[in-house]
A = this chain, B = another copy of it.
Amino acid sequence: MIEKLEYVYMPKNSLTFPPERLLLAPGPTNLHSRVLQALIAPILGHKDPRFLDIMDETAALLRYVFQTRNKVTLALPGTGGAGMEATLVNLLEPGDTVVVLDAGYFAARMVEIADRCRARVIVHQTEWGRAVDIDSLEAALQQAGRVKLVAAVHGETSTGVEHPIAEIARVAHAHGALLAVDAVPTLGGVWLPVDEWQIDICYSGSQKCLSAPPGLAPITVSEPAMQVIHQRKTKVQSWYHDLSILSRYWSRERVYHHTAPINMTYALREALVLIQEEGLETVIQRIGVLSAGVLAGLQAMGLELFSDPAHRLTTVVAVKTPTGIDEARVRATLLETFNIEISGGLGAYAGKLWRIGIMGHSARPRNLLAFLAALEMVLREQGHATEPGVGPRVACEVFSRT
Considering only CB atoms, which chain B residue lies closest to A6 in the complex?
A: B69
**Chain A interface SS verdict (over half):** loop
Asked if A341 CB lies within 8 Å of chain B CBs, one says yes
| B109 x A264 contact (CB < 8 A) | no
How big is the A interface, by class?
35 or more
Asked if A103 CB lies within 8 Å of chain B CBs, one says no
Asked if A230 CB lies within 8 Å of chain B CBs, one says no
For the complex, what is the distance from the CA of A295 to the CA of B207, rounded to whole Å?
44
Asked if A378 CB lies within 8 Å of chain B CBs, one says no
Asked if A257 CB lies within 8 Å of chain B CBs, one says yes
Given A11-B57, A36-B40: A28 touches B262 (CB 8 Å cut-off): yes
| B28 x A43 contact (CB < 8 A) | yes
Min CB–CB distance A25 → chain B (angstroms): 5
| A205 x B259 contact (CB < 8 A) | yes
For the complex, what is the distance from the CA of A15 to the CA of B42, rounded to whole Å?
11
Min CB–CB distance A335 → chain B (angstroms): 7
| A17 x B41 contact (CB < 8 A) | yes
| A239 x B42 contact (CB < 8 A) | no
Asked if A46 CB lies within 8 Å of chain B CBs, one says yes
- Across the interface, which residues of B come within 8 angstroms of A276, CB to CB? 10, 12
| A213 x B264 contact (CB < 8 A) | yes
Out of B3, B45, B264, which one reaches A215, CB within 8 Å?
B264
Additional A-B contact list (19), CB under 8 Å, known A7-B60, A80-B258: A2-B193, A8-B56, A11-B57, A11-B61, A11-B269, A12-B276, A13-B273, A15-B37, A15-B270, A16-B38, A30-B43, A40-B40, A44-B341, A89-B238, A116-B239, A214-B260, A214-B261, A214-B263, A240-B240
Q: List 20 A-B contacts (CB under 8 A).
A: A3-B67, A10-B61, A15-B37, A16-B266, A18-B48, A23-B43, A28-B45, A30-B43, A31-B43, A39-B263, A44-B341, A48-B335, A77-B78, A79-B261, A81-B257, A113-B239, A116-B238, A205-B259, A214-B263, A263-B267
